[in-house]
Chain A
Amino acid sequence: MTHPPPHFPAPQARQRWLAVLAHAPRDLLERHAAALDEAAFTRLRAPETGLTMVRARIGNRGDRFNVGDATVTRCVVRHRAADGRVAAGVGYVLGRDEARAEWVARFDALLQQPGQHDALMRDVVEPLAAETAHRRAAAAARIAASRVSFDTLASEISP
């Protein structure tokens, strides 16, 4: 029995959809995930919660320092398509919501299946990306109203 070899998407494309899925609101993700065929998935790594060290740079330029531990839940599932093609999907989400990590992993696996990629990008990923962008723009607009500029003060002190 021979199956078609797994398909490998470009890393940047996969990073993007994983970021979109990880940031997607829970209720929207759940609604999309409910339509998936559960029987086609096998858990390679059941959802598990752990800690990961978050690191950052001061002003995005200085030395790296440890901000602190963040709670992360991860999951790995395998999807077998009707044509026998196999893809493994990973899900990493902040927090301890195991269902969310598994939904992300399932979508990641499906998005690597050439037969479903385009439809899923159109019906799931792009709407979720638009929703997240909208949410961020609204938050940015709300915060922008209280923005204080120190430009004038700085120029008077330093010649």
Chain B
Amino acid sequence: MTTILARMGAGFADPVHGAQQTFRALLGAMAEPGRVQALPDAATAGLAPQEADLRPPLDVALAATLLTLLDADTPVHLAGALDTEDTRAWLRFHTGARALPQAGAMTAARACDVDATLWNALDIGTDEAPQSSATLFVDVDALSEQPLEGAPALKLRGAGIETSRDLAVAGLSAAFWQWRTALRSQLPRGVDIVLLCGTRLAAIPRSTHVESEG
């Protein structure tokens, strides 16, 4: 235990306001699907310290999001390369949350680890209890409202978008976006997706229509 504690990464510099600011950004992201929200400095303070051995084991936006949403009663599934001893210990220390061995209501992954096995394991809820579905947090390679070279351009429509909104996401496979496009017909069942990159994040809630243009 002491081994881990002496090498433990830092959390929010100010846990109360850090979590509140991050939660506000997540609310904004869910309300306006595809709009890229930058986390304010007040939220990210402490998560990117000067000393290398104090750095959290996750990227800033993903770290802030998990610190905000997790607690002792809210476990998370860390998929693929995210599932390390350091990350588990860090989440346990700062939030009290345990890691789940299989996909659960909260699932986090790096874009390269998102495959059919993972998304088919996600719970999409039932018509009677759509709220029991999963939320997927993906740390993507690049995220922008402007077109990006090498990143599939998405056109989003639906609640919270006046006409349509463009979003470029690098790192997720075409098969993933096909799965997500098909999933829209299951509404109110579905999966809410939060995309994170560096200190920025965007959300694609279940109600959003996603068209992938190559």
Taking beta carbons and an 8 Å cutoff, which residues of A are in contact with B? 6, 8, 42, 44-46, 48, 76, 78, 86-88, 90, 112
Contacts and interface: CB of A to CB of B under 8 A. Distances in A.
Contacts of A78: 6, 8, 54
A46 B105 CA distance: 29
B3 interface: yes
A88 B93 contact: no
Interface in B1-31: 2-3, 5-8, 10-11, 14-15
B105 to A, nearest CB: 25
Given A42-B54, A86-B53, A6 B11 contact: no
A6 B2 contact: yes
A88 B10 contact: no
Contacts of B14: 46
Interface of B: 2-3, 5-8, 10-11, 14-15, 49, 51, 53-54, 93-94
Contact of A44 (B2, B3, B8): B8
Given A86-B7, A86-B53, A88-B8, A45 B93 contact: yes
Contacts, number: 36
Given A44-B10, A86-B53, A6 B15 contact: no
Given A6-B2, A8-B2, A46 B8 contact: no
A56 B102 CA distance: 38
Contact of A88 (B6, B11, B49, B51): B6
B10 A6 contact: no
A6 B93 contact: no
A17 B54 CA distance: 26
B54 A45 contact: no
Contact of A86 (B6, B11, B93, B94): B6
Contact of A45 (B3, B6, B7, B11): B11
A154 to B, nearest CB: 48
A11 to B, nearest CB: 9
Q: Which of B5, B8, B54, B93 has the most CB of A within 10 A?
A: B5
Nearest to A89: B5
Contacts of B54: 42, 78
A110 to B, nearest CB: 13
A89 B54 CA distance: 15
Contacts of B7: 6, 86
B119 to A, nearest CB: 35
A45 B53 CA distance: 16
A112 B2 CA distance: 10
A129 B158 CA distance: 68
Contacts of A45: 11, 93-94
A88 B3 CA distance: 9
A46 B53 contact: no
Given A42-B10, A45-B93, A76 B5 contact: yes
A83 to B, nearest CB: 14
Nearest to A44: B8
6 contacts: A42-B10, A44-B5, A44-B8, A86-B7, A86-B53, A88-B6
